[in-house]
Structure 1
Amino acid sequence: MCRFLAYIGPELPIESLLLAPENSLLNQSLDPELHPSLQLAGWGFAAWSAHLLKPDAPLLYHRPKAAFHDDNAKTLIPSLQAHTMLSHIRAASYDASVVQADENCHPFSFDHTPWIIAQNGALPHWRQLQRELLPHCKDQYLTQMRGTTDTEFLYVLLLSLLEGDSDDDVQRGFEKLLKVICKAARDLDLAALTKLKIALVSSDRIIGVNFGCGHEGETDVTGDWEKLREEDLPLSMLLEPIYLLTGANFDDHANSYDIDPCPEGRPPRPYSRQSR
Structure 2
Amino acid sequence: MCRHLAFLGPPQPLGSLIVAPPHGLYRQSWAPRRQRHGTVNADGFGVGWYAEGDPEPARYRRAGPIWADGSFADLARVVRSGALLAAVRDATEAGADGEAAAAPFAAGRWLFSHNGAVTGWPRSLAPLSRGLPPDELLSMEARCDSALVWALVLNRLRRGDDEARALADTVREVAAAAPGSRLNLLLTGGDTIAATAWGDTLWYLAEPGRRTVVASEPYDDDPHWREVPDRTLLAASRTDVLLTPLKEPSA
| TM beyond 0.5 | yes
Structure 2 residues not aligned, in runs of 5+: 212-218, 226-232, 242-251
CA offset digits 1:65-121 (Å, max 9, x no partner): 01111111221111111111000000024x4x34461111110012xx432211111
Distance (Å, rounded) in 1 between the aligned partners of 2:38 and 2:173 = 31
The DSSP-based 3-state class of the residue aligned with 1:203 is coil
Would the alpha carbon gap of residues 40 and 182 (structure 1) be closer, same or farther in structure 2, given more than 3 Å must change? closer
Paired residues for 1:46-195 under 5 Å: 46-50=48-52, 55-93=54-92, 95=93, 97-99=94-96, 101-110=98-107, 113-162=108-157, 163-166=159-162, 170-171=164-165, 173-185=166-178, 192-195=179-182
Describe the superposition over 1:166-216 as per-residue Cα deviations: whole angstroms up to 9, x where unpaired: 36xx32x3343244334544xxxxxx41110010111111111123xxxxx
Q: Is the 8 A contact 1:30 1:68 kept in 2?
A: no
Residues 22-61 of structure 1 mapped to structure 2, 5 A cutoff: 22-32=22-32, 36-50=38-52, 55-61=54-60
Aligned residues: 222
TM-score normalised according to structure 2 size: 0.77
More helix by share: 1
In structure 1, C-alpha distance between the alignment counterparts of 2:130 and 2:32, rounded to whole Å:
38
Q: Verify: 1:202 aligned to 2:201, yes or no.
A: no
> What TM-score results when the alignment is normalised by the length of structure 1?
0.70
The structure whose residues are more often strand, as a share, is: 2
Structure number with greater Rg is: 1
Partner amino acid, structure 2, of 1:161? R
SS of equivalent residue, structure 2 residue 9: strand
SS of match in other structure, 1:121: strand
CA contact (8 A) 2:55 2:109 kept: no
Q: Can you give the 5+ residue segments of structure 1 that lack an aligned partner in the other structure?
A: 186-191, 212-237, 251-255, 263-269
